[in-house]
Amino acid sequence: GPLATDTMTRINENGNVVGTIIVNCEGFPETTTLDSLTAATYSTHMRNLSHHATNALKEIDVTDELMVLRLVSKKTEAVVAPDHEFHLIVVMRKS
């Protein structure tokens, strides 16, 4: 919706942001500033990682909830904020 689009616009104004993706509940990129192949790749893998992290966290503490998952590599950083209806993924260059 408009709120998500406004949020993506604001995030993309950061010079280190490569792109943003909103992934729907079926796992498909609904809105993205990346090319479709890159968006699909990040959507699949970051969504899977967030599901695994959520399950691991529930094993550790059933009352806790994953808010944000950060994946930092030598070149990039990917952040996923999971939600029941969608996931927001932000891909950034390492500064």
Question: What is the domain-level CATH number for residue 62?
Answer: 3.30.450.30
What pTM does this model have? Answer: 0.86
Q: How far apart are CA 42 and CA 64, in angstroms?
A: 25
Number of domains making up the chain: 1
Confidence category of residue 6, pLDDT binned at 50, 70, 90 = confident
Residue numbers of the domain that contains 52: 2-93
Across 1-95, where does the E strand assignment appear?
Answer: 17-24, 29-32, 69-72, 76-82, 86-93
Question: What pLDDT score does 1 carry?
Answer: 61
Model pLDDT for residues 44-87, shown as the tens digit of each residue: 999 999 999 999 999 999 999 999 999 999 999 999 998 888 89
- Tens of pLDDT along 9-40? 777 777 889 999 999 988 899 999 999 999 99
